[in-house]
Structure 1
């Protein structure tokens, strides 16, 4: 679809811009499979890294890595 904005035609899109990661990251493994994990920035203060890591590990069983792991879909 095209819409007019300030005298110009622009393409309307439903895409939402995503933030671009910056800096170094550490992989926080979730479970026994090392390929399943979450990246957390190493530039964050210790407490800002430790709390989410603990929460993610405690709730690792809530994550699904494929549709096959989501019953009812």
Structure 2
């Protein structure tokens, strides 16, 4: 659940939620994430916030970009 009153930024909260889904096995290796629009709607945040969250996960090497797919 995303909470706008929490100390973490919205992007950090989204990143933690996605990371949790990966650790729980809901998102597996090689799985493609939903698009930015779908993610922003499901988390109730803006697309730039989703981009920031994904950047956090890329920087942590949790996600990788495969160009030309999706």
Instruction: Give me the TM-score of the superposition, normalised by structure 1.
Output: 0.26
Query: Which structure has greater strand proportion?
Result: 1
Instruction: Give me the TM-score of the superposition, normalised by structure 2.
Output: 0.27
Larger Rg: 1
Query: Which structure has greater helix proportion?
Result: 2
User: Higher relative CO (CA 8 A, sep ≥ 6), structure 1 or 2?
Assistant: 2
